Amino acid sequence: MGRISRPTPQFPYSKGLMPQEEMLETGRKNKRITIGIPKETDATECRIPLTPEAVEMLVDEGHEIIIEKGAGNLANYTDTDYSERGGQIVESSQEVFKSEIILKVAPLILKETEYLNEGQVIISSLHLNSSAGQYLRNLMQKRITAIAFENIHDQDGAFPLVRAMSSIAGSTSILVAAEYLSNVNKGKGVMLGGVTGITPTEIVILGAGTAAEFAARAALGLGAMVKVFDDSIKRLNDLQNILGQRLFTSIFHPQVLERVLRTADVVIGTLSPEEIKGGFIVCEELVKKMKKGSVIIDLSIDKGGCFETSEMRDNSKPAFVKHNVIHYCVPNITSRVARTASIAMSNVFSPLITEIGEAGGIKSQLKDDPGLRNGVYIFNGILTNDYLGRLYNIPSRDINLLMAAF
């Protein structure tokens, strides 16, 4: 008889004897993060990035929040409010700057950059002032990763911090305009808005973004006549749809803009030089043609401003007169309503920190989150913002290419 071959046993439901691929853990690893919140060095900056309620939530998640003594006072949050919710109150800013992530509203001043250690992360705003070039070089020397929170966007492409602050700034700008039109602040003595039998005040808004939307909404609510300029027909159309009514709208046609500025009572600028590809929307010659006692409010002064006559001021001396026109050019106008602004900021920062912890750290989160990555202007000591590189003559590299190496 020939040899009978026996079939190899099959185990259709069991793979125990078969070689298997190694299963690697793909879950996100939670990491305990130390966040430092220093007291703002600018006495007119009243906001704080995290409220006591947000601190409590983050501490419950295992994070450590170190807060300099008195950091929340100007927003009417006491040290006790924070300590009772798990925040650690320290006496000096040097202790705060030992943290892994420094969370701050205003950019660090040059002296504060001396406290930094190599490899730390800074999340703050970015102001383009006379010391910005040296500020960038100091961060690069310390191999810092710096994130401008105004450039962080979400999955829908919207900028949550910008929208929150712009909505507050837009509404507040109308309240500021009303103050400086009144004779209490040596204005014309005109009420912002309109009443029966009296021609309403004329508000001109440059730009049709979020700040413009809320400024227009507030002005219309007071009865003012609103005119909006923008270089995008789509944005102008969207603004009218959002507000639910027809407005005077125009692109930036020089003759139309000049005619409107001659009769305007208030002009609010919301566009930065970066958005309009350099230069100013309103030159000094146009300002000279405006009515005596009219008011200019430059909401983009922190980016260089959109009026040639703008000069950056602070809340201690916020206004000045040039060519008989009152100028209000304060970069942190939302500090006038510091508690509201702090809550709005905290609503964005607290989930962001939670996501960074769940990702296992900032670098892991940057790899997975293009929105956060968009806010990076220095990564590990390398400038990644082309606009800043050209402005301050510093070589820059693409953040997406750099992330591929990590």
Residues with active-site annotation: 127, 302
Are 208 and 230 in contact by the 8 Å Cβ rule? The answer is yes
Helices (H) and strands (E) in the chain, counts: 15, 15
**Cβ–Cβ < 8 Å for 200, 261:** no
Residues 6+ apart with CB under 8 A from 216: 170, 203, 205, 226, 228, 239, 243, 247
Rounded Cα distance, 268 and 405, in Å: 44
Rounded to 5 degrees, what are φ and ψ at 227? -130, 130
List the structure tokens of 225. Answer: 């006549």
Q: Provide the residue type at 10 as one letter.
A: Q
Phi/psi at 256 (5° precision)? -65, -45
Paired strand residues for 64: 34
Q: What length is written for the chain?
A: 406
Distance from C-alpha of 5 to C-alpha of 106, rounded to nearest angstrom: 81
Distance CA 229, CA 233 (A): 10
Pull the structure tokens for residue 343: 């809550």
